[in-house]
């Protein structure tokens, strides 16, 4: 098996390409009599990740982050980015674009400031959710600024736009899925009946894959295929997907799934009657418009059932993490054996990918590996290129964030590694990050709490030192699906109660722009908390089960900052790492692991 090669951002605008592409877009804007045009990082399916064909934001601006959008006006073009990308955007977009801190600055407020005399902004109704556009209509009322639908102006000027992906779809084995597609369809259809709804529109690729026990390859690093689905309360599904993708899975789908080409989706939506559920956060505005009065608000019916993994999915994920952990340990042992100042970031990425490839159940990496040393480590979602490839120098820290897509599970792990002798400031910050990670790992909490209720636990040691980080503490993770999965999150904005079976990351960090970065990440699964002597018997509690087993760099830990409970947890964790991982290693890596997991 060969993984896709390290990508080179073929669709991304270089700084010298950004100005002429923006000029071409502005000509189209003027020709249509508009004041501006919105360019989101989105496709018609509204998943987090997009295929090369749909990466219009990167092609236009050069910005490659996983979230953001551009508002291109005649005299200014704002690139709206959240706290994860404040550093990255500065190095990627040309001077003709203006980074805008979002959500601190809302699009409506920015438009009012830029267009005090009013104006008309165009948007592609397939690339924005119904919730986004309805919110814009509401907030712009009375401002003199209006928004209007139009065909995509970027597509008009993108002469060499890649073709739509057409990769075949495969059946996901029941041994890994843990539940048949028939059972899932019946279960979700029953929930529609109970809500008095006749159907639900599903556009998110990972939801369709989960519901029908399918996996695809239309998006790099994500085993999903593009399509649309209508789940009927009667217990059937209409699937709209290119027929050539489905030739190998027709018998797997069964009679309750009717397959249609994507071109028939609009007519099928228009033919629906009764109350049709749409998720305002994922269904395109055009679909909601087609449904008109038949549309009723509701979440994606697959989201919560998909998030709560069944025993087969949890067991598969645990097994995948052990094999993945062995590959990461082999990498860390190899890295420590290299002469000082002899290794570059791309070498680390390629070596780790090669080690993961030895596993026959690996299908891809789960995202482009982040290997940032020194100042590059302060770029939270840094991606090495041949232009930025830095040498691992004495005294630097290396942030290594990576994962694999295995048939039995999806992994995501970050370790921060000392190159040579680390500085005192770096060690102190690392220890605080570790204390936050340990605090969350040890947490027990009452049922019913959400991610926002508990995520501060992982930040507390940093807060006490006047420090923090600009990303969530954790995201949901799929079961051989997307490495970022909702609705579960450890985030200040998450209002979804945590439930048993949910897999989340636990990844506090600290970033000093221009200096260094630190992040430590394990994946955890929510479980019923084990009984405790003296606990209130009527109080139901939840806790975590750790899935990730890879050593934490002892050279970066200031022992005197750690309390007895933290050291006890760390020693116990390292003992488990040695017990679970050592039997699968070669001799050199096993010797390295013995030293790396020695107790304090």
Specify the CATH number for the domain of residue 285.
Answer: 3.40.350.10
**4 in any annotated domain:** no
Q: Which residues are within 8 A (CB) of 343 and not within 5 positions of it... i.e. 6 or more apart?
A: 335, 391, 392
Cα-based angle 428, 333, 374 (whole degrees, multiple of 5): 40
Which of 243, 271, 303 represents a domain boundary (last residue)?
303
Which of 157, 178, 195 represents a domain boundary (last residue)?
157
Cα-based angle 524, 528, 531 (whole degrees, multiple of 5): 120
Residue 375 has pLDDT above 80, yes or no: yes
In total, how many domains does the chain have?
3
Neighbours of 160 (CB within 10 A): 7
Give me the phi and psi of 568, to 5 degrees please: -65, -45
pLDDT at site 5: 52
Mean pLDDT computed over 203-216? 98
**The tokens 């217990």 sit on which residue?**
235
As a three-state string, the secondary structure of 15-43 is CCCHHHHHHHHHHHHHHCCCCEEEEECCC
Examine the domain organization and report whether 387 and 408 are in the same domain: yes
Q: Which of 166, 165, 137, 167 has the alpha carbon at shortest distance from 149? A: 137
Examine the domain organization and report whether 152 and 175 are in the same domain: no
Q: Which residues are within 8 A (CB) of 251 and not within 5 positions of it... i.e. 6 or more apart?
A: none
The pLDDT > 70 percentage for the chain reads 97
**468 in any annotated domain:** yes
3-state helix vs strand vs coil in the chain, percent to 5: 40, 20, 40
**105 in any annotated domain:** yes
Examine the domain organization and report whether 443 and 581 are in the same domain: yes
Examine the domain organization and report whether 295 and 313 are in the same domain: no
**The tokens 């690339």 sit on which residue?**
127
Between residues 7 and 49, the one the model is more confident about: 49
pLDDT-wise least confident of 90-94, 98-102, 438-442: 90-94
Residue 4 has pLDDT above 90, yes or no: no
pLDDT at site 494: 93
Examine the domain organization and report whether 382 and 428 are in the same domain: yes
Per-residue confidence at 7, pLDDT binned at 50, 70, 90? Answer: very low
* Six-digit token string for 411: 């992994």
* Six-digit token string for 103: 């959500």
Residue 476 has pLDDT above 90, yes or no: yes
Q: Render pLDDT for 130-151 as a digit per residue (tens, 0 to 9).
A: 999 999 999 999 999 999 999 9
Q: Which residues are within 8 A (CB) of 110 and not within 5 positions of it... i.e. 6 or more apart?
A: 71, 78, 80, 100
Examine the domain organization and report whether 153 and 280 are in the same domain: no
Examine the domain organization and report whether 337 and 421 are in the same domain: yes
**2 in any annotated domain:** no
pLDDT at site 65: 79
Residue 533 has pLDDT above 90, yes or no: no
Q: How far apart are CA 300 and CA 280, in angstroms?
A: 9
Residue 477 has pLDDT above 70, yes or no: yes
As a three-state string, the secondary structure of 205-218 is HHHHHHHHCEECCC
Examine the domain organization and report whether 223 and 94 are in the same domain: no
Residue 280 has pLDDT above 50, yes or no: yes
Domain containing residue 348: 308-594
Mean pLDDT computed over 106-125? 95
Q: How far apart are CA 444 and CA 542, in angstroms?
A: 6
The model carries a pTM of 0.93
**165 in any annotated domain:** no
pLDDT at site 152: 97
Mean pLDDT computed over 528-545? 91
**238 in any annotated domain:** yes
Integer CA distances (angstroms), 505 to 138, 345, 524, in order: 36, 24, 6
Per-residue confidence at 18, pLDDT binned at 50, 70, 90? Answer: confident
Mean pLDDT computed over 375-399? 93
Mean pLDDT computed over 457-473? 97
- Report the half-sphere exposure of 488 (CA within 13 A, side-chain side): 29
Examine the domain organization and report whether 505 and 535 are in the same domain: yes
* Summary mean pLDDT of the chain: 94
pLDDT at site 213: 98
Examine the domain organization and report whether 384 and 447 are in the same domain: yes
**401 in any annotated domain:** yes
Examine the domain organization and report whether 175 and 150 are in the same domain: no
Residues in the chain: 600
Which of 303, 326, 360 represents a domain boundary (last residue)?
303
Kindly state the helix (H) or strand (E) to which residue 81 belongs, with its residue range.
Answer: strand 77-81
pLDDT at site 126: 97
Per-residue confidence at 404, pLDDT binned at 50, 70, 90? Answer: very high
Per-residue confidence at 541, pLDDT binned at 50, 70, 90? Answer: very high
Q: Render pLDDT for 295-352 as a digit per residue (tens, 0 to 9).
A: 999 999 999 999 999 999 999 999 999 999 999 999 999 999 998 899 999 999 999 9
pLDDT-wise least confident of 46-60, 434-448, 497-511: 46-60
Residue 66 has pLDDT above 90, yes or no: no
Coil/strand/helix, residue 307: helix
Mean pLDDT computed over 522-528? 98
First to last CA, the chain: 41
Kindly state the helix (H) or strand (E) to which residue 347 belongs, with its residue range.
Answer: helix 345-357
Residue 3 has pLDDT above 60, yes or no: no
Per-residue confidence at 528, pLDDT binned at 50, 70, 90? Answer: very high
Per-residue confidence at 14, pLDDT binned at 50, 70, 90? Answer: low
| CATH code for position 364 | 3.90.230.10
The pLDDT > 90 percentage for the chain reads 87
Q: Render pLDDT for 220-278 as a digit per residue (tens, 0 to 9).
A: 999 999 999 999 999 999 999 999 999 999 999 999 999 999 999 999 999 999 999 99
**513 in any annotated domain:** yes
Examine the domain organization and report whether 324 and 453 are in the same domain: yes
pLDDT at site 12: 53
């Amino acid at each position: 098996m060969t993984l896709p090669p390290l990508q080179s951002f073929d669709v991304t605008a270089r700084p010298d390409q950004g100005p002429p592409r923006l000029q071409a877009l502005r000509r189209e804007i003027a020709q249509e009599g508009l004041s501006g045009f919105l360019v989101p990082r989105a496709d018609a399916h509204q998943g987090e990740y997009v295929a090369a064909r749909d990466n219009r934001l990167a092609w236009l601006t050069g910005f490659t982050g996983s979230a953001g959008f551009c508002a291109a006006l005649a005299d200014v073009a704002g690139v709206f980015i959240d706290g994860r990308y404040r550093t990255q955007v500065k190095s990627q977009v040309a001077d003709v674009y203006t980074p805008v801190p979002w959500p601190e600055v809302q699009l409506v407020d920015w438009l009012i400031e830029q267009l005090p005399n009013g104006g008309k902004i165009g948007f592609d109704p397939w690339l924005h959710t119904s919730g986004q556009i309805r919110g814009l209509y509401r907030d712009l009322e009375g401002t003199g600024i209006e928004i209007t639908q139009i065909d995509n102006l970027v597509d008009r000027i993108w002469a060499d736009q890649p073709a739509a992906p057409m990769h075949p779809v495969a059946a996901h084995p029941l041994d890994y899925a843990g539940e048949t597609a028939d059972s899932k369809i019946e279960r979700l259809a029953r929930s529609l009946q109970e809500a008095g709804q006749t159907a639900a529109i599903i556009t998110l690729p990972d939801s369709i894959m989960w519901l029908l026990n399918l996996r695809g390859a239309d998006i790099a690093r994500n085993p999903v295929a593009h399509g649309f689905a209508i789940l009927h309360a009667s217990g059937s599904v209409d699937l709209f997907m290119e027929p050539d993708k489905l030739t190998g899975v027709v018998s797997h789908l069964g009679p309750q799934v009717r397959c249609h080409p994507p071109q028939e989706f609009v007519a099928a939506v228009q033919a629906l009657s009764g109350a049709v559920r749409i998720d305002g956060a994922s269904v395109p505005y055009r679909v909601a418009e087609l449904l008109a009065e038949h549309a009723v608000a509701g979440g994606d019916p697959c989201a919560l059932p998909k998030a709560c993994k069944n025993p087969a999915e949890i067991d598969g994920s645990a097994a995948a993490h052990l094999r993945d952990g062995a590959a990461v340990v082999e990498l860390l042992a190899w890295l420590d054996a290299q002469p000082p100042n002899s290794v570059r970031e791309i070498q680390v990425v390629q070596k780790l990918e090669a080690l993961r490839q030895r596993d026959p159940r690996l299908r891809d990496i789960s995202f482009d590996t982040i290997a940032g040393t020194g100042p590059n480590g302060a770029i939270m979602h840094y991606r090495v290129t041949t232009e930025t490839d830095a040498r691992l120098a004495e005294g630097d820290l290396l942030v290594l964030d990576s994962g694999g897509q295995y048939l039995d599970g999806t992994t995501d792990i970050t370790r921060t590694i000392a190159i040579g002798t680390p500085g005192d400031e770096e060690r102190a910050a690392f220890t605080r990050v570790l204390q936050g990670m340990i605090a969350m790992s040890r947490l027990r909490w009452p049922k019913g709490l959400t991610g926002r209720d508990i995520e501060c636990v992982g930040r507390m040691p940093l807060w006490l030192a006047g420090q923090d980080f600009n990303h969530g503490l954790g995201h949901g993770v799929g079961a051989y699906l997307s490495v970022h999965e909702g609705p579960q999150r450890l985030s200040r904005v998450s209002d979804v109660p945590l439930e048993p079976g949910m897999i989340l990351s636990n990844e506090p960090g600290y970033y000093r722009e221009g200096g260094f970065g630190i992040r430590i990440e394990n994946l955890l699964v929510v479980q019923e908390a084990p009984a405790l002597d003296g606990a209130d018997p009527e109080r139901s509690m939840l806790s975590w089960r750790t899935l990730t087993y890879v050593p934490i760099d002892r050279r970066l830990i200031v022992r005197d900052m750690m309390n007895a409970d933290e050291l006890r947890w760390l020693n116990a964790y390292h003992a488990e790492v040695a017990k679970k991982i050592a039997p699968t290693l070669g001799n050199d890596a096993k010797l390295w692991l013995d030293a790396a997991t020695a107790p304090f």
